Amino acid sequence: MLRNLSILLLLSLWACGDPAPQAPLYGTIWGGEGSRLVLRSVPGDKEIHDTLLIDHQGNFLWQPDTLVPGFYTLEKQSGKQLTLLFIDEQPIRLDAQYPTFPENCQTTGSPFCRELKIIDDLSTNWQQALLTTSRTLRDSAWEATTSNIYSLQLQLDSVTAHFRQQALEAADHPLVRLYALLQQSGQRPLFHPWEQRQHYFAVDSQLSHYRYINEVALFHQNTRELLQREQKAQRLEAGQNLPEFLLDIDQGDSLLTSSLQGQATLLLFFDRQDPRSVPPYKESHEMLQAFRWSPLQIHLFHTDSLPYNGLSDLRPLAHIHYHQLQTQRRRQLLQEGLLLQQPANLLLTEDGRIAARNLWGTELQQGLEQLLQK
């Protein structure tokens, strides 16, 4: 009888002291009695947002009807969060102090928790560095001139490149590197999908066994689209014939690239609302004045929403054909590999072959001179 009572007492103590371990997520948050934690899915196809109550003993548990594998964030009301990755049936147990959460949080059953925390910290520091850089450069004497905006953009790009390298050094496992590739600050990605596409390809090739995870499946789909764009862009390398493109321009007018044959041609594409496009835009205008009387046809396409005189300090040149590329066609040309980055240009021979692409400054001038000599 005494033995049976002892067993019942032990079972009772265990039940009161720790939530059911069969729950996917449970644990103890010391000092958080009566507080709440919020569990969110990382943005993707799934949308999960659950509030977890910490009981009077500091225990909590999360026991959904169905566990969707993937990345989740567990955060308290102050916004401090811990990233968790559910990839199998093994439950995750946490042991932490509420005032310092998620710092010094002990986890069992959670793969890559420490590595994901490093990426989260890097992402936070990167976003803070971007904000600090913007505030430093945009003091009371700062003016929003084209050159100042361009300089600010270069500074922000440099900050991003620094933290991008740190993220690559910290992320060994492909799942952790995937999480690093997903980091963003507003509309600015830590890893630009096109410019850093080789990282995307490398990570995707190592994740074939994890495509049951929503984020991995979506990443795979996006990477396949990147690969298709790269394959289409390879058709635009020097020596290739320019594929037939229909350029919808101006007031419902259109221009077929095949109609450009018979004369050496320069095609230019600029988004004047992108600070990085403005310097080469102005530089190209200045340089192209020297080709005023040459047998060269020049078509310049604006891919932005500004009027023709959107840059008031720049006078249009009479020998350049200016066009406004329609919004829908801009998206199509992106898919077809022509406008993967801007500014962009193509130098075409008389028979429609690509002589060179994306030359700027002195290289563009020399390329045009060689093209006209042939």
Most confident of 37-51, 138-152, 286-300: 286-300
CB 67 within 8 A of CB 86: yes
CATH assignment, 246-373: 3.40.30.10
For the entire predicted model, the pTM comes to 0.79
* Amino acid identity, position 207: L
The arithmetic mean of pLDDT across residues 340-344, rounded, is 81
User: Please, which pLDDT band fits residue 6 given cuts at 50, 70 and 90?
Assistant: very low
DSSP one-letter string for 200-251: HHHHHHT-GGGTTSHHHHHHHHHHHHHHHHHHHHGGGSTTSBPPP-EEEETT
Q: Residue 19: pLDDT above 50? A: no
- 158-175 burial code (b ≥16 CB/10 A, e <16): ebbeebbebbeebbeebb
Q: What is the pLDDT of residues 189-233, one digit of tens each?
A: 999 998 899 999 999 999 999 999 989 999 999 999 999 888 888
Provide the percentage of residues in the chain whose pLDDT is more than 90: 37
Segments making up each domain of the chain, as ranges: 15-110, 115-235, 246-373
User: Please, which pLDDT band fits residue 45 given cuts at 50, 70 and 90?
Assistant: low
Q: Residue 251: pLDDT above 80? A: no
CATH of 15-110, one of 2.40.50.140, 3.40.50.300, 3.10.450.50, 2.60.40.180: 2.60.40.180
Are 15-110 and 246-373 the same fold in CATH?
A: no
User: Please, which pLDDT band fits residue 2 given cuts at 50, 70 and 90?
Assistant: very low
Q: Residue 301: pLDDT above 80? A: yes
Q: What is the pLDDT of residues 76-85, one digit of tens each?
A: 876 678 999 9
Q: Residue 22: pLDDT above 80? A: no
Most confident of 108-117, 191-200, 288-297, 336-345: 191-200
User: Please, which pLDDT band fits residue 41 given cuts at 50, 70 and 90?
Assistant: confident
